[in-house]
């Protein structure tokens, strides 16, 4: 049997830019992408802590070390600059893979700098 599990997340990132007219979806600091094991164009779920909006989109790389979390295109109607969001990616695992699997969690500060990383147990 296959089951869907949380693979990784960036917890409480702060949106630094929003542009509904820009082609793209969610720009994320490349350092945060690497820390969370996320790839360009990977599907993510976004949960807006401040207004309750939830939506799916894909990632594009932003400059490493920039702290950028930018909402582009239609997603910019769901979140704005200063909103806190959770960015989550999921994976499908076979039952045999689930026993030792642990998602990667990246906790960030108000400037989107990594303050802690952990694997959920």
Each residue of 89-103: pLDDT tens digit?
999 999 999 999 999
**Strand ranges (DSSP E) for the chain?**
2-14, 17-19, 26-29, 43-48, 54-62, 69-72, 84-94, 104-108, 114-119
Each residue of 54-90: pLDDT tens digit?
999 999 999 999 999 999 999 999 999 999 999 999 9
29 part of a folded domain: yes
6 part of a folded domain: yes
pLDDT at res. 24:
76
- Give the model's confidence band at 118: pLDDT under 50 very low, under 70 low, under 90 confident, else very high: confident
119 part of a folded domain: no
pLDDT, averaged across the chain: 95
Q: Which residues are catalytic?
A: 25, 58
121 or 28, which is more confident = 28
pLDDT at res. 23:
82
Residue 83 CA to residue 103 CA, distance in Å, equals: 24
Please choose, from the candidates 105, 47, 116, the residue with its C-alpha nearest in 3D space to the C-alpha of residue 75. 47
Domain count, the chain: 1
Threshold 0.85, pTM exceeds? yes
Host domain of residue 63 = 2-95+102-109
CATH number at residue 14: 2.40.40.20
- The yes-or-no verdict on residue 120 having pLDDT over 90 is no
Q: What is the mean pLDDT of residues 44-48?
A: 98
49 part of a folded domain: yes
114 part of a folded domain: no
84 part of a folded domain: yes
pLDDT at res. 7:
97
21 part of a folded domain: yes
């Amino acid at each position: 049997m296959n089951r869907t599990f949380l693979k990784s997340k960036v917890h409480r990132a702060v949106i630094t830019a929003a542009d509904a007219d820009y082609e793209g979806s969610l720009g994320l600091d490349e350092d945060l992408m690497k820390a969370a094991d996320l790839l360009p164009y990977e599907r993510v779920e976004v949960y807006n802590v401040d207004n309750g909006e939830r939506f799916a989109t894909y990632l594009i790389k932003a400059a490493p070390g920039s702290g950028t979390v930018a909402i582009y295109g239609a997603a910019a109607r769901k979140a704005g600059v200063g909103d806190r969001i959770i960015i989550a990616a999921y994976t499908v695992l076979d039952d045999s893979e689930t026993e030792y699997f642990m998602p990667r969690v990246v906790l960030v500060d108000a400037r989107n700098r990594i303050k802690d990383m952990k694997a959920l147990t």
